[in-house]
Amino acid sequence: MSKSGDQAFLRKDTTKGRWPEMTYGGALSFLRRNYSRDLDGVDVAVTGVPFDTSVTFRPGCRLGPQAIRAASVQLAELKAFPYGFDPFSTLSVVDYGDVYLDPHHPNSVRPAIEAHADRILESGAKLLALGGDHSIAYPLLKAHSKRYGPVALIQFDAHCDTWEDDGEKLDHGTMFLRAAREGIIDVSKSTQVGLRTFNDEDYGFEILTSPWIHRNGIDAAIKVARDRAGEMPVYISFDVDGLDPAFAPGTGTPVPGGLASWQALEFIRGLEGLNLIGMDVVEVSPPYDHSEITSIAAATIAHDWLCLIAKAKGAKPVQVGRL
């Protein structure tokens, strides 16, 4: 068999490495990884969570996982920037496909997501989830807390998502307060990054608003999040509306004044060395996107998190130019 093209289903003998593929053709798995439910020896499973019934403004992020996969094609072609390595020479990553959800029985959605995550985490693999609206982070965090205990949350967002609710409704703006009250999140170790909407309470989170980051610089912001997380297991939840709408127009609740894409990428790369256990990238709404700007940003953010996991496993960077 020729080792070229359609590697997502033709590469049978390994979950590592990659071969030539047309960026404009082929099976659209995330970063051209094998589609597989076999997690034996897998380091990271990527899964889509196509759900957006709990949004409060514009819908469409149920289409996010497909769009992020499609936007990842160029990242699968070249060595990773700025590291200069192929992360998949070191890291075994599969595209686990999407969690199956029944939107006609909304009370079944969160348990289905949690059970799906449980199966992945029980294998020993880390989980990278592509949303979907931000409410999916709650069942994902519940699954992670079963394995790791309370986690330090680093949340990129325009909104705090700690508004009060009745403990029952599906809402993409309340789940982190619920998770904190249930002991899933250790707020004393957690940081919210890029906020630019108001809530009367911080509930113990460290809040780095986007104006503060613009004034004080990305290095100062990274130091706050790193010092706060310490040795805790760190879960990253990245809502693309944390980016300014100029860099992420394709999202449901855009707010001006956010992070530039370069700031977000520098922040993710600056978390190297922390105990990174899982990540979600959410709220990509393709109907409101332009030229895949938002999807490409989301794919790159997820890709760079994978590079941190690869580096932690022994991938060796090669520096070219001034970094």
Q: pLDDT tens-digit profile of 69-81? A: 999 999 999 999 9
| Domain positions in the chain | 28-312
Does residue 191 carry a pLDDT above 90? yes
pLDDT value for 243: 98
At residue 320, the pLDDT reads 81
pLDDT at 309 over 70: yes
Instruction: Tell me the mean pLDDT in the region 169-178.
Output: 85
In the DSSP assignment, the letter for residue 11 is -
d(CA 20, CA 39): 24
Q: For position 61, what pLDDT does the model report?
A: 96
**What is the average per-residue pLDDT within 139-165?**
95
CA pair distance 29, 70, nearest whole angstrom: 8
Judged by average pLDDT, the poorest of 48-52, 98-102, 167-171, 221-225 is 167-171
Measured CA to CA, the distance from residue 40 to residue 25 in angstroms comes to 29
- Among residues 80, 67, 82, the alpha carbon closest in space to that of 287 is found at 67
As a whole-number percent, the residues of the chain with pLDDT over 90 amount to 81
Q: Provide mean pLDDT across the span 223-244.
A: 98
Q: Are 306 and 91 in contact (CB under 8 A)?
A: yes
Q: Which of 147, 149, 105, 107 shows the shortest CA–CA distance to 126? A: 147
DSSP assignment of 283-311, as one string? ---GGG-STTHHHHHHHHHHHHHHHHHHH
Contact criterion met (CB below 8 Å) for 277 and 151: yes
Alpha-carbon span 279 to 232, nearest angstrom: 15
pLDDT of residue 114: 98
pLDDT tens-digit readout, 104-138: 998 999 999 999 999 999 999 999 999 999 999 99
Phi, psi of 236 (to 5 degrees): -105, 125
Selected from 3.40.800.10, 3.30.360.10, 3.30.470.20, 3.90.1150.10, the CATH number assigned to the domain covering 28-312 reads: 3.40.800.10
According to the model, what pLDDT value does residue 247 have? 98
In the chain, where does DSSP find H-type helix? Answer: 7-10, 64-71, 109-122, 137-148, 175-181, 210-216, 218-229, 261-269, 293-312
* pLDDT surpasses 60 at 1: no
Q: What's the predicted TM-score (pTM) here?
A: 0.95
Average pLDDT, the chain: 94
